A and B are shown apart, each in its own frame.
Chain A
């Protein structure tokens, strides 16, 4: 049984309860009063990636539409501008709930494939935890040579690299870009310690969620 099926079976009819237990800040979902100020405040203006504005997602959670919510690309579209949090009359941490939902969907493996935010997040995370420092050169190259599905695409990488040539040279001149970073690059002092820390953090989170459930 996949992680997704396990969770679905565990919470049977109550997706709201599942969100409250498993999603970061999920306990706030029930407090939405459907005023729609969050949607009205969103600067993304809901370009097509946003299938459902935040208050609609909250209502879908309450209506038990598990599949539709978790596979939705909507929460991945959030740019973390925090406008909705500032304006919400019920003080819901909407941005955090969006990220919480996205993260949960990712953990269950049901998040939309090839969603660019998700692809970039994965790339960034792996890049950052490898050495404990973000390697910007590797990150941008990694980004250029991958297509929307996350597959390596040499032609596209060269094309995008050439398009950004001027910027790269400028950065080089200003000493903001070190080409030797390609060979490993700078690292933090205690890599093992970082990894141990992340491992412990994950353990704690899982424990907390297990208690809540």
Chain B
């Protein structure tokens, strides 16, 4: 390195640190053991004077690496902001004095703890360099919106109003999507009493009039290449040509299809033209254009209509959709009003099992009741067609009448939403085989009967050139994956956001909200990409993975495990990092068996040297040492908050924050056990179907990797309890200290590790 390194340690004596700890001793340790060239103490380090002292040392003393022994790294981040230096923090306040009792007996162990954190901080800062930022950036500020429905148009308009140019791609010949097919929409303004104008034509006009929105109709995405800030997207246009656009970030608003009512023959669909789905009724209402709605079978005005809710939805058998689409109750209420508002004498019955009217739907529901729409709680078993009439057979759930019947001219099935999310890239071989078999069967059936084919093969939406697959990963039931709690629009492909019903079933109000959120997130992403910074949750992080290719064995674990598809392969089959796609979770680093992947400020070495820096008392000291690797997203803040509440926990633990459980390399655990630690606790977020991992798959991958640690323990002749995996949520403020104390007691009972002193 061209520049000289100079290490400095600053020890704060404010917030009671000076009274509770022997600061002179801490300074001595930083100097002697930590080998810090500059060591200073300050009574109030985060005040203007303290910060000025550090700044002066940087400017005039040539200090490059800074170790601050004060509060948690989550506190005072603005005061201790030195962007051009490598900075680390020894957590003496939340990590030591706030979680220890202020008693004479506790004084010694509390001081031990603080000294270790100083040693760890010094060791860490020596293994770090200041992150220089990603140089491989793009500066394209154009958003690509895929899908010209309400969500897509809203996203495009919102982005355009914020000052970003937009390319809008729609596969059909017109903008508007499903909403354009509606006669009217569910009201969104007071008094929520009658169906309202859809407003789609206005939205379309706005998009068409906006000079910074470029619309491609009858077009699809042929290829998406690159990374946030520098996507290159090939658009296949109507004429068969390919247009290439340079794109900063992408919003996928590909919406939904209605669940195929052909799969519901027991409800009469296909058997009588008088059984329609909700889209079918909208078409009839549009054709009627305000006049009486006509019965398809003979063109006579409808005199009675029955709405069947949850048709092919909320099905526990697994045959149809298992979920509730959330909008259909309101939609049926609206459609019932199409009839009642025209002619109150028309019998309209809504047969439901649970009526759910989100938003202001409760007023809308009441209004329908006032208008005389009959709501009957029942489960429809079958719909039989007889001539121009239909008989709806249902189980009346209030009167417990198994053989209840309603005669109706027209039956409307509320079938629900199925996302248009492209190809499922995580499909297992079996699922793929099933899918192919279904396609073959459908082809055969259509050839034999001469009917059009009843099978629609999933086609890719984005055609990503990523090694991991052509589309964004899906979660449950084909909806795209996103962190439901923290980052709802975020997909597992950085810079690509999904909005609207492709993400989860929703109505127009929710879709527009989604679109706005996604547009702003997409703008953030391209701005961050331009500055070489990470997107959330490590928003603003300038570090990015560096790989020492000489050591790489081409095992491909990093390319496979990266939850965000950031790593491709080059021609020589080495990993090829796309820094702008990277979210800096470090899962690749944790996965690498030869440990050649590192970040400038976070590496196998920065954590490894902290582990080694801890002073391990001998076997007879009655002072066990427990290493805690805590996820910085939930577990570490939970520990900090426990400290703020002064929840006490064992003085035997030494906590090291990690970016994600996925970044934990097993070598750290082996090292710790070899060094004589008596126990290791791993604290990560919940994984699985209801995951809370901020890097989606990180904690799951980390746990899988660490599940193999049992073998290591056996080889070392150690008890398997010496490594404990914990799922921690940010709310575990009171639980966590208790669990730590129980574990510490368990370790004391188990006895000390025999690996001490080697």
Residue of A nearest to B352 (CB): A34
Tell which of B101-109, B184-192, B367-375, B458-466 binds the partner.
B367-375
Shortest Cβ distance from B365 into A: residue: A33
In the complex, A7 Cα to B376 Cα: how many Å?
Answer: 25
Q: Do A60 and B369 touch across chains, with their CB atoms under 8 A apart? A: no
Judge if A16 is at the interface, Cβ distance under 8 Å: yes
Whether B404 contacts A59 by the Cβ 8 Å rule is no
B130 is an interface residue with CB less than 8 A from chain A: no
The reply to whether A63 and B404 form a contact with Cβ atoms under 8 Å apart is yes
Q: Does A10 contact B (CB under 8 A)?
A: no
Check A59–B369 contact: CB distance below 8 A. no
**A31 with B399: CB separation less than 8 A:** no
User: Would you give the shortest CB distance from B377 to chain A, in whole angstroms?
Assistant: 5
Q: Which residue of chain B has the shortest Cβ distance to A59 in the bound complex?
A: B398
A186 within 8 A of B: no
Interface residues as binary, B376-390 with A (CB distance below 8 Å gives 1, 0 otherwise): 110000000000000
The interface residues of chain A lying within 8 Å CB-to-CB of B369 are: 30-31, 33
- In whole angstroms, how far apart are the Cα atoms of A31 and B376 in the complex? 12
Q: Does A147 contact B (CB under 8 A)?
A: no
Return the contact of B366 from the options A56, A60, A65, A90 (Cβ within 8 A): A90
Cβ distance B346 to chain A, nearest Cβ, rounded Å:
12
A30 & B372 in contact (Cβ 8 Å cutoff) = yes
- In the complex, whether B355 has a CB less than 8 A from a CB of chain A is yes
Whether B399 contacts A60 by the Cβ 8 Å rule is: yes
Judging by beta carbons under 8 Å apart, are B366 and A16 in contact?
A: no
Q: Does B471 contact A (CB under 8 A)?
A: no
Shortest C-beta distance, A33 to chain B (Å), equals: 7
Are A63 and B370 in contact, with the CB atoms below 8 A?
A: no
User: Does B374 lie within 8 Å of A62, measured CB to CB?
Assistant: yes
Q: Which of B336-379 contact A (CB under 8 A)?
A: 355, 365-366, 369-370, 372, 374-377
Q: Mark A26-37, 1 if CB is under 8 A from B, else 0.
A: 000011011000
A29 CB to nearest chain B CB (Å): 10
Bound-complex Cα distance A188 to B515 (A): 76
Q: A31 CA to B372 CA in the complex, in Å? A: 9
Number of residues from A at the complex interface, CB < 8 A: 13
Given A59-B398, A63-B396: A31 in contact with B374 (beta carbons within 8 A): no
Chain B residues with Cβ below 8 Å from A30 are 369-370, 372, 374
CB atoms of A56 and B399 under 8 A apart: yes
Chain A's nearest CB lies how many Å from the CB of B375?
7
Contact call B377/A59, Cβ cutoff below 8 A: yes
How distant is A98 from chain B, measured CB to nearest CB, in Å?
A: 17
Asked if residues A59 and B399 are in contact (CB atoms below 8 Å), the reply is: yes
Quick check: B398 and A34 within 8 Å, CB to CB? yes
Q: Does A55 contact B (CB under 8 A)?
A: yes
A208 to B398 CA separation, bound complex (whole angstroms): 33
Closest to B404 in A: A63
Contact B398–A56 (Cβ < 8 Å): yes
In Å, the complex CA distance between A63 and B398 comes to: 11
Closest A residue to B355 by beta carbon equals A33
- B366, A31: Cβ atoms closer than 8 Å: yes
Whether the pair B399, A63 counts as a contact (CB closer than 8 A) is: yes
Most buried by B among A33, A60, A63, A90: A63
Could you tell me which residues of chain A, from 1 to 35, have a CB within 8 Å of some CB in chain B?
16, 30-31, 33-34
Q: Which residues from chain A contact B398 at a C-beta distance below 8 Å?
A: 34, 55-56, 59
Residues of the B chain whose Cβ atoms lie less than 8 Å from the Cβ of A60: 399
**Which of B375, B398, B404 has the most A CB atoms < 10 Å from its CB?**
B398
CA distance A60 to B369 in the complex (A): 16
Whether A34 contacts B377 by the Cβ 8 Å rule is yes
Q: How far, in whole Å, are A55 and B396 apart by their CA atoms in the complex?
A: 13
- Interfacial chain B residues near A59, Cβ < 8 Å: 376-377, 396, 398-399
Please, how many angstroms separate the alpha-carbon atoms of A60 and B399 in the complex? 7
What chain A residues lie within 8 Å of B355 (beta carbons)? 33
- Chain A nearest CB, measured from B304 CB (Å): 10
**Listed A/B pairs (21) with beta-carbon separation below 8 Å:** A16-B374, A30-B370, A30-B372, A30-B374, A31-B366, A33-B355, A33-B365, A33-B369, A33-B375, A34-B375, A56-B398, A56-B399, A59-B376, A59-B377, A59-B396, A59-B399, A63-B396, A63-B401, A63-B404, A65-B399, A90-B366
> Given A34-B375, A60-B399, A63-B376, list of 18 further CB < 8 A pairs?
A30-B369, A30-B370, A30-B372, A30-B374, A31-B369, A31-B370, A33-B355, A33-B375, A34-B398, A55-B398, A56-B398, A59-B396, A59-B398, A62-B374, A62-B375, A63-B396, A65-B399, A90-B366
Enumerate chain A interface residues (CB-CB to B < 8 A).
Answer: 16, 30-31, 33-34, 55-56, 59-60, 62-63, 65, 90
* Interface pairs A-B: 6 shortest CB-CB: A59-B398, A31-B369, A30-B369, A62-B374, A34-B377, A56-B398
